Amino acid sequence: MDESARTVSVERRRCPRYRCTATVEIFQSGNRWGWGSVNELCHGGCYIEIAQLLPVGTEAPLRLTMDELTLEVVARVASNHPLTGMGMEFLAVAVEQECILQAMLKRVGAPDVPYSAPSVPSDSTRRPQGDPHHSRSSAEDFGQSDCKN
């Protein structure tokens, strides 16, 4: 087989995924649009098992829950797999949520690494009053030992 005819698989992910068990609520226009199961998590995103899909490129606030940890992030649909699920890329992780993401990753066996999703100052993540997408956990709940400062 000639060299140019070979297909080379290129890894597009910025970070390795880790198997996990979590639930996720997906929001659109301030309301819960749907929910699903998260079976993979990494520093830059997650994979959601869900039958009804949002179009690729759609941005959505997510609320991921793993045991007592709750993470709120803004993500974009990166890939769709009909009747299976969708890959989500984290776009914005508020500063106070970074610790929670790190604690979740630590729980699923990810090594401590300096990379994280783009951060946004907590005041830029204000939500409209009455929005059900509100924080139930904070970095203080998990102590500084779970976070890299």
The whole-angstrom distance between residue 132's C-alpha and the CA centroid of its chain comes to 18
pLDDT tens-digit readout, 41-80: 998 999 999 999 999 999 999 999 999 999 999 999 999 9
Q: What is the pLDDT of residue 92?
A: 83
Residue 97: phi, psi to the nearest 5? -90, -20
Provide the pLDDT confidence category of residue 95 given band limits of 50, 70 and 90. Answer: confident
Answer yes or no: is pLDDT of 148 > 70.
no
Q: Is 44 helix (H, G, I), strand (E, B) or coil?
A: coil
What is the rounded CA–CA span in Å between residue 10 and residue 8?
6
The whole-angstrom distance between residue 109's C-alpha and the CA centroid of its chain comes to 16
Q: What is the pLDDT of residue 118?
A: 52
Q: Tell me if the pTM is above 0.75.
A: no
Provide the pLDDT confidence category of residue 12 given band limits of 50, 70 and 90. Answer: low
- By the 8 A CB rule, do 19 and 105 touch? no
More confident site: 122 or 93: 93
**What fold is seen in the domain 15-112?**
Thrombin, subunit H (2.40.10)
Give the domain ranges of the chain. Answer: 15-112
The strand pair at 45-49 and 85-94 is best described as antiparallel
Answer yes or no: is pLDDT of 113 > 90.
no
Answer yes or no: is pLDDT of 137 > 60.
no
More confident site: 26 or 16: 26
**Count of Cβ atoms closer than 10 Å to residue 85 Cβ:** 21
Q: Is 37 helix (H, G, I), strand (E, B) or coil?
A: strand
